[in-house]
Amino acid sequence: MIVTSAADFLAAFSYERFPMRAPPCARAAFLRSPLGFALATQSAQDNRYMDLSQQVDAARALAQHTQLAAALAEELPVITFPGDPATPDAVFPNNVFATTRGRLIVGAMRHAVRQREAACPDIRAFFRDILGYEVLDLSGGAHIAELTGALVIDRARGIGFCGLSERCDMAGARAMHDAFGLNLTFCFELAAGEYHTNVVLAILAGRAAVLAPQGFADAAVAAAIAQVYAGRAITLDTAQKTAFAGNAISLAPDSVWFSAVAAAALRNEQREQLQAWGFAVRSVQLDEIEKAGGSLRCCVGEIF
C-alpha cells in the first residue's frame, strides 16, 4: 500500500496491522573508502549542504573514514570497498546500493557522476557471486530512485517514508516500494531545497524517530510520523538539521550513531531521551567527509 497524505497514513497505520516482525537492524555494513575524495560539482546543484568553495583534505577524510569503519566494527561486521576518483560521491554508498534479505538493489541516480557509481562492478559482484544475492537493478527505468537516501525504512514493520524531491519521483517511490517488499510506503514532498529524506528523518530500530519538521513541505507529515512512534520522537531545530543530526542510524537495537558534529548539536534533554529509550549515543568525527553534503548514515550501506 502506498499513501500520499498524513491523514491516509494515520488511517492506514496501527500497531496491530504493522507489528515488529522483522529484524530492525542490519546484520552487517558496507562502506566505500574516500580514496580520491573530492566535492562533486554535479551533486552540489541540488545539495545545499555542500559548499564548493571549501577545500577538502583527502588524507584527513580517509583517516576519519577508517576510524568510522573501526568504530562500527565494534557492533557488527563491516566491509570496506575501495574508492575511485572517478566517483567522488561513492563515499555515500547507501544512496546507490541497498539490500533486503537475499537481494541487492541498485538505485536510479539523478546525476551522471552517481550513475557511474551504480555501474561499478565490485559491490554487485560481491553480493551476487560471494553472498548469492539476487541483483535488482532499478537504474535502467524512467524514474529516479536514490534508495535509502530518499527512502527511510522502518525495517521491523516494513514501512517506508519516502521524500519526493529532485532525487526521487513518484515512479521511483513505487519501484522502491516493490523492490524492498514494503508493506506500507508513505510518500510526501520534502521542503524546497532538501535533497534526501535521511537528512531530515531517522527511524531508530523501529522504536523511535529523529526528525526535523522544517525539512518537510507539509508540517502535518512530520507530526504524523511523530505520532506513530508514540511520543518517542526527537524534534530537531534548523541548526541541528544543518549539523546532520537527522542523518543518524541504529545498527544495533541499543545504540544510535551520529557524526561528532551532529552529536554535539544535540541538547542534553535529547540525549537523555534517547538513553531513556534504550539508545546509547555513539559518534565518530566526520567533519571532513561532511563537506561533501552527507554524514554518517549516508556512509553506511546496510546488509540484511
Residue-range domain boundaries for the chain = 2-11+20-303
Phi then psi for residue 68, to 5 deg, are -60, -50
Please compute the mean of the pLDDT values over residues 139-164 and round it to a whole number: 96
User: What band does 89 get if pLDDT is binned at 50, 70 and 90?
Assistant: confident
C-alpha angle 5-7-13 in degrees, rounded to nearest 5: 100
pLDDT in the model for residue 53: 67
115/277 Cα distance (integer angstroms): 39
What is the grid cell recorded at 139? 537504474
pLDDT for res 41: 63
Is residue 94 within 8 A of residue 109, CB to CB? The reply is: no
161: pLDDT confidence band, cut at 50, 70 and 90?
very high
* 288-295: average pLDDT: 93
On the question of pLDDT at 86 being above 50, the answer is yes
Which residues, in sequence order, are bridge partners of residue 39?
Answer: none
**Smallest Cα–Cα separation from 215: which of 184, 236, 186?**
236
Question: Bridge-partner residues for 105, per DSSP?
Answer: 98, 136
The mean pLDDT value of the chain amounts to 94
User: In the predicted model, what is the mean pLDDT of residues 38-43?
Assistant: 60
Contact status, residue 283 vs residue 234, Cβ threshold 8 Å: no
Confidence of residue 44 (pLDDT cuts 50, 70, 90): very low
Q: What is the mean pLDDT of residues 13-24?
A: 96
In the predicted structure, residue 51 carries a pLDDT above the cut 90: no
pTM (predicted TM-score): 0.94
**Which amino acid is it at 212?**
A
Architecture of the structural domain at 2-11+20-303: 5-stranded Propeller (3.75)
